[in-house]
A = this chain, B = another copy of it.
Amino acid sequence: MAMSVPRMDPLESRAWLALVTTSELLPAALDAHLRAEAGITHFEFMVLSGLKRAKANTMRMTDIAAMVDSTMPRLSKVIGKLVERGLVEREGGASDGRVINVRLTSDGRKVLVRALPGHLAQVRDLIIDRLDRDQLEALADILEPLVERLDPQRNMGQLAASRS
């Protein structure tokens, strides 16, 4: 069955190699930078950013997980640590007794605000400022359908609700 899949030609190889390599290096670079500058991971940064944008700085676990494209167990543990550090709070008061609301604390906001300029600068330095407008558009046009295909179930695009 696993019949012969055509080998990659040079152009295909180039594109594929570049994409895989980027996918391995970029997350590591973001983590290292944010960790050094603000003591948080990129994942935590995205969580805190999402909370900051949210109404009342509050979201339920499930929605956060969808936004950052995470599994529940992973998110649960990360939130646990953020609570320990006082960057977010858990609030049980909801009509549905199962849901837990998570709110950004003022300390959390401080950490986020402190992390933001450096992070933005890194993103510009690594990516954005190295591409012209046409390239930015091409990149978005190319990757967006791929993301849709890659995303297990829900397309996390919702977080495109980012005007921040």
User: Which of A's residues lie within 8 Å of B, judged by CB?
Assistant: 2-8, 11-27, 29-30, 69, 117-118, 120-121, 123-124, 126-128, 130-131, 133, 135-140, 142-147, 149-151, 156, 159-160, 162, 164
Given A5-B124, A126-B150, answer yes or no on A140-B25 (Cβ-Cβ < 8 Å): no
Residues B128 and A16 in contact, CB atoms below 8 Å apart: yes
Indicate which residue in B11, B18, B118, B128 contacts A15 across the interface (CB closer than 8 Å).
Answer: B128
Count copies of this chain in the complex: 2
B137, A11: Cβ atoms under 8 Å?
yes
Query: Which DSSP category, helix, strand, loop or mixed, fits chain A's interface?
Result: helix
Q: Is A128's CB under 8 angstroms from B8's CB?
A: yes
Determine the distance from Cα of A123 to Cα of B19 in the docked complex, in whole angstroms.
11
* Bound Cα distance from A149 to B16, whole angstroms: 18
If A15-B140, A117-B4, A138-B138 touch, whether A23 touches B21 (CB-CB below 8 Å) is no
- Asked whether, in the complex, the Cβ of B144 is within 8 Å of the Cβ of A14, the reply is yes
How far apart are the CA atoms of A4 and B113 in the complex, in Å? 12
